[in-house]
Amino acid sequence: MTQASVCFIGAGNMSRSIISGMVNNGYDPKLIYASNPSQPKLDALQADFGINTSNDNLAVAKQCDVIVFSVKPQLMEQVCNHLAQLDLSNKLVVTIAAGIPAKRYQDYLKQPIKLIRTMPNTPTQIGYGMTGLHAQDNISDEHKQICELLMQSGGKVVWVEQEDELDQVIALAGSSPAYFFLFIESMIETGIKMGMSEQQARELAQQAALGAAKMVIQNPEQSLATLRNNVTSKGGTTAQAVNTFEQGDLRGLVDKAMHNCVARAKEMAQTF
């Protein structure tokens, strides 16, 4: 499939993650543009990936087939309003912002648009991303394929039928790298308190996390409970640790955290 020209409006963490995935996967950097008000992130993107950069959202959006909105949700209205003067009828609009519903973009851009909402995550940067996608009814298969190509460069993609399922994607994949980072961070802190060097504690915890994630992926026929039980010798050390988590209601806490994550996405949908 021919590669489309793509501009990223906002050159922060997530744009960098997606651009990195695209370029590492063979996307022509000459077809990628990023626009940002401040210069350092643009310079780094240009140096690292050889893409085009600009401080002018309007100029890059005018030039490209695909516009990816990648600013914080609270800035979306202002950024879209500025681009409303462009004729977007032949362009695909993609957004990665949490919360903001598809219909709001049409209001902000003041014209009918072809929009795909996506919810990626930062591991996209290293090819292990997970992105949820939702297309409005007016999106062609070609546009779906174009968007899929962008997001697949950084990992896996899943299409959801209903737009509000993207909120669940946020709780399970968009935000969840932070949950795992917090867990590993806590383990490292305790490892240090127990007398390990930070480097040693990190190496032990990160390798255990990687091994555990790979075991989950490579054993789809085994339940998580089985994998857990295989580590947990009766009367042994793991049982003590796992019981501590269960008594502290880790599951309840995870449930509460994920529901709060979804609730915030819904609140953002009302706010921005």
Ligand X SMILES: NC(=O)C1=CN([C@@H]2O[C@H](COP(=O)(O)OP(=O)(O)OC[C@H]3O[C@@H](n4cnc5c(N)ncnc54)[C@H](OP(=O)(O)O)[C@@H]3O)[C@@H](O)[C@H]2O)C=CC1
Ligand Y SMILES: O=C(O)[C@@H]1CCC=N1
DSSP characters over 147-194? HHHHHHTTEEEEE-SSTTHHHHHIIIIISHHHHHHHHHHHHHHHHHHT
The two most distant CA atoms of the chain are separated, in Å, by 69
- Which residue is nearest to ligand Y, using beta carbons? 174
14 belongs to an annotated ligand binding site: yes
Residue 4 or 98 with smaller CB distance to ligand X: 98
Which of ligand Y, ligand X, none does 176 bind, CB closer than 5 to 8 A by kind? Answer: none
Q: Which amino acid is at 153?
A: S
Q: Mark the segment that binds ligand Y (CB under 6 A) among 105-113, 169-177, 191-199, 241-249.
A: 169-177
Positions 81 through 140 that interact with ligand X (CB under 6 A): 96-98, 119-122
For position 188 contacting ligand Y by CB under 6 A, the verdict is no
Beta bridge partners of 130: 156
Kindly write out the interface string for residues 28-67 of this chain, putting x where it contacts ligand Y by CB under 6 A and - elsewhere.
Answer: ----------------------------------------
Give, in order, the Cα–Cα distances in Å from 206 to each of 9, 117, 124, 256, 270: 34, 32, 18, 25, 38
Per the listing, tokens 């857990």 go with 228
Residue 74: both structure tokens together: 């609270």
The yes or no reply on residue 10 touching ligand Y (CB under 6 A) is no
From 65-73, 185-193, 205-213, 259-267, span contacting ligand X (CB under 6 A): 65-73
Given the rule CB under 6 A, which of 72-80, 194-202, 217-225, 238-246 is the region that contacts ligand X? Answer: 72-80
Does 10 interact with ligand X (rule: CB under 6 A)?
Answer: yes
Residue bearing tokens 């998580």: 224
Residues 68/4, Cβ–Cβ less than 8 Å: no
Residues in the interface with ligand Y (CB under 6 A) total: 4
Six token digits for residue 209: 């996390």
Which token pair is 55?
Answer: 């401080």
In the complex, the residues that contact ligand Y under the rule CB under 6 A are: 98, 170, 174-175
Contact residues toward ligand X (CB under 6 A) are 9-15, 35-38, 41, 57, 70-73, 75, 79, 96-98, 119-122, 174
Annotated binding site for NADPH: 57
